[in-house]
Each structure stands twice: as structure tokens, then as C-alpha cells.
């Protein structure tokens, strides 16, 4: 008599621990699985199969232990029906979830990948689009010509579009062109010495004042200037440079006259240091352009020995660049080849080119 109650108590405990065998638990299980999102459908199918196997095993144990219970087969039948219904429901949900996930991947995953690839690999503009943009610019601004837009000359990196027009014109017309005129060489030496206190744009903007004060850079006329009157406050020269620089210009003019007597011209003296041929540097980048060179140091020492003032190696190298003793245009600049061609011409043709360039620079400076 004590056997059946024990078996019932064991069955009840098993049924409470395994909710799959309880009808209410099965219903709750089915409702929960229906409500939960089918993010992991395959794991749920495996779990239901495991619970079904465990349910059959427990059902066998319950039938072996409780032969006297008549309601066990009916309960097992109900459980099997519910299990089959759960399996079919889970399979349908898993199939729906797989189709939904595939659709979502097809709709979103590919777009994301294409967006990533588009970010990594920007699309190159087609020639048709470029021409359309060019035509649009031309229609919007009729003052810009097609030739000016397409044939843009590449200059040295330090000459930017926002640069002073006078300095840009000086780069395009004068800087690096071989100079063989004594007055022009004296002018460039004076302007290069002024770089210790001013910049090229500031010097070029005051170039007309320099020429008025120093008699168009005629060494004979400048050597006769009175230093006290030139340096006196209120004079036009005092607004250009400091007093030591102004005195140095007058003294250098006197020393140039001595060199002209010795060598025949100041031009022969200057070009003798480079064997009457410009030095072609062939620089690719601005950082390669030096501030001074051993050759400039040699010329500076010789000028100081002859009585010149304010002619350090840096000033002398700036003078060499401006006078065309060295061609420091970058090889990508359009003036690099033009200065080489100008150097191959004779002195007379070179002087004509310098005169024309000088007039053009003056016009641009006056308009600015």
C-alpha cells in the first residue's frame, strides 16, 4: 500500500521539474516561443528535440514505475500531440525567421557593404562630368576663358594664387633670368640686401621709390650722394631702410666703380665666379632650395675684402637667384626651362628680355 503513493510522489516531482510533461507548461512553452523573436531558430529546435527525448524517457520510467495508473497513456498521448504541434510551430517559425533574416540581409547588408566600399574607393569623375563642370563655370563667369582655365602654368610652390601680384610677376618675368647689365645688377644687389629688413612683396611695392632715391641705380650718381642728406629724417630714403643700410648702398656704389675699372664691368666680375654660365640646380621640392651655398660664401668674402657692406652669404645668394647666376626654379615650374633658354641667348638678347620684363613688372606694380 505504501508503493503507489511513493510512485505518485516521484512522478509529481518529475513532472514539476520537467515542465514539458505538464500540459500547462507545454502551453506556456508554446506561447513563449511564439512571442519570442526568432533570432536563434535552430537552437530552439534542438532544445525541443532534447525535451521530447527526455519526455519519452520519463514517460517510460513512469509507466514502469506506475503500472496501476490508468491515466498515464492518455496523458502521454496528449503530450505527444503537443510536442508535435510545438515542433511544427517551431519549424515554421524558424523557416519564417530564416526568410526574414535573409531578406533583411539582402536589403541591408549589401547596401552597407556598398557604402563601405564607396567610402574606401571614391569614384573617379568621368571626363564628361569634368567638361560639364567646365562649361558651367564658363557660362557662369564669361570673363574666364577656356584657354586660361585649361592652360594653367605650374609655378614654384612658394608662389601661391593668393600671392602679391607684383611678386608673382617678378617670379614670372625676372627672377632667375640671367642679367648682364651693370645697373640692373646693382639694383638687384640693393634689393637683395633689403631682404634683411623687408620681404620681397614689400620691396617690390616700394621699388619705384628705390629708383627715385638712388638715381635709377646708376653707380656713378649714387656714389656722389651725400650720406647725411640721404639719411636725414623726413627724406624719402629714410622711409625705405635703416641708416646703416642706406650708408652701405652708397659705399657699395663706390666699390662697384672700382671693380668696373679693374674688370671692365661689374657684370664680368659677378659672372666670373660661375664661369660665365648659370648654375642649374634642378630642385624638385622647396625644402631643397638652400639659403646660402659655398659659392655664395666665396663671393661674399671677396666683396667684403673689397670694401662692400651688408653683403653676407645669404644676401649674396639671394642676389645670385634674382640675377640668374643660379637657376633655382623648381623643375616643375614653367620658368625653369625658359630661364635655361634665356641663358643660352647672347648678352644683347638677354638684356632686351630683361628690359621687357622690367617694364611689365613695373606696370603690374603700378596697377596694384
Numbered residues of the known binding site for Zn(2+): 156, 171, 329, 333
Which of 230, 248, 247 shows the shortest CA–CA distance to 239? 230
Please, are residues 180 and 278 in contact by the beta-carbon 8 Å criterion?
Answer: no
- Apex 212 CA angle, 192 and 310, nearest 5: 25
Query: What Rg do the C-alpha atoms of the chain give, in angstroms?
Result: 48
Instruction: Give just the sign of the alpha carbon dihedral 84, 89, 95, 101.
Output: negative
| Close Cβ partners of 238 (under 8 Å, ≥ 6 residues apart) | 231, 232, 246
CA distance from start to end of the chain: 123
Rounded to whole angstroms, what are the CA distances from 9 to 2, 6, 25, 40? Answer: 11, 5, 19, 37
| Close Cβ partners of 40 (under 8 Å, ≥ 6 residues apart) | none
Could you tell me which residues are annotated as the binding site? 156, 171, 329, 333
Q: How far apart are CA 275 and CA 288, in angstroms?
A: 24
Amino acid at each position: 500500500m505504501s508503493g503507489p503513493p511513493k510512485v505518485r510522489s516521484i512522478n509529481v516531482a518529475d513532472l514539476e521539474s520537467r515542465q514539458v510533461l505538464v500540459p500547462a507548461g507545454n502551453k506556456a512553452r508554446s506561447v513563449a516561443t511564439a512571442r519570442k523573436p526568432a533570432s536563434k531558430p535552430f537552437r530552439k529546435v534542438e532544445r525541443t528535440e532534447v525535451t521530447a527525448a527526455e519526455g519519452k524517457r520519463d514517460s517510460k520510467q513512469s509507466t514502469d514505475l506506475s503500472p496501476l495508473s490508468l491515466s498515464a497513456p492518455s496523458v502521454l498521448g496528449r503530450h505527444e500531440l503537443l510536442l508535435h504541434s510545438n515542433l511544427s510551430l517551431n519549424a515554421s517559425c524558424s523557416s519564417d525567421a530564416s526568410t526574414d533574416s535573409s531578406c533583411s540581409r539582402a536589403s541591408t547588408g549589401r547596401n552597407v557593404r556598398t557604402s563601405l566600399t564607396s567610402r574606401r574607393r571614391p569614384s573617379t569623375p568621368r571626363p564628361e562630368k569634368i567638361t560639364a563642370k567646365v562649361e558651367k563655370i564658363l557660362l557662369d563667369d564669361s570673363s574666364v576663358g577656356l584657354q586660361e582655365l585649361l592652360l594653367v602654368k605650374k609655378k614654384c610652390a612658394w608662389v601661391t594664387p593668393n600671392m602679391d601680384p607684383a611678386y608673382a610677376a617678378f617670379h614670372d618675368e625676372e627672377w632667375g633670368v640671367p642679367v648682364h647689365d651693370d645697373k640692373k645688377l646693382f639694383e638687384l644687389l640693393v634689393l637683395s640686401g633689403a631682404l634683411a629688413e623687408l620681404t620681397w612683396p614689400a620691396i617690390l611695392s616700394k621699388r619705384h621709390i628705390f629708383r627715385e632715391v638712388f638715381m635709377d641705380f646708376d653707380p656713378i650718381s649714387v656714389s656722389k650722394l651725400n650720406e647725411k642728406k640721404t639719411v636725414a629724417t623726413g627724406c624719402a630714403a629714410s622711409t625705405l631702410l635703416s641708416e646703416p643700410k642706406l650708408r652701405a648702398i652708397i659705399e657699395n656704389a663706390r666699390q662697384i666703380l672700382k671693380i668696373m675699372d679693374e674688370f671692365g664691368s661689374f657684370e664680368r666680375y659677378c659672372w666670373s665666379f660661375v664661369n660665365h654660365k648659370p648654375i642649374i640646380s634642378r630642385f624638385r621640392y622647396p625644402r631643397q632650395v638652400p639659403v646660402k651655398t659655398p659659392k655664395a660664401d666665396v663671393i661674399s668674402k671677396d666683396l667684403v675684402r673689397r670694401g662692400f657692406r651688408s653683403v653676407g652669404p645669404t644676401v649674396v645668394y639671394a642676389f645670385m637667384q634674382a640675377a640668374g647666376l643660379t637657376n633655382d626654379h623648381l623643375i616643375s615650374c614653367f620658368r625653369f626651362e625658359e630661364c635655361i633658354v634665356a641663358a643660352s641667348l647672347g648678352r644683347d638678347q638677354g638684356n632686351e628680355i630683361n628690359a621687357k620684363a622690367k617694364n611689365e613688372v613695373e606696370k603690374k606694380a603700378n596697377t596694384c
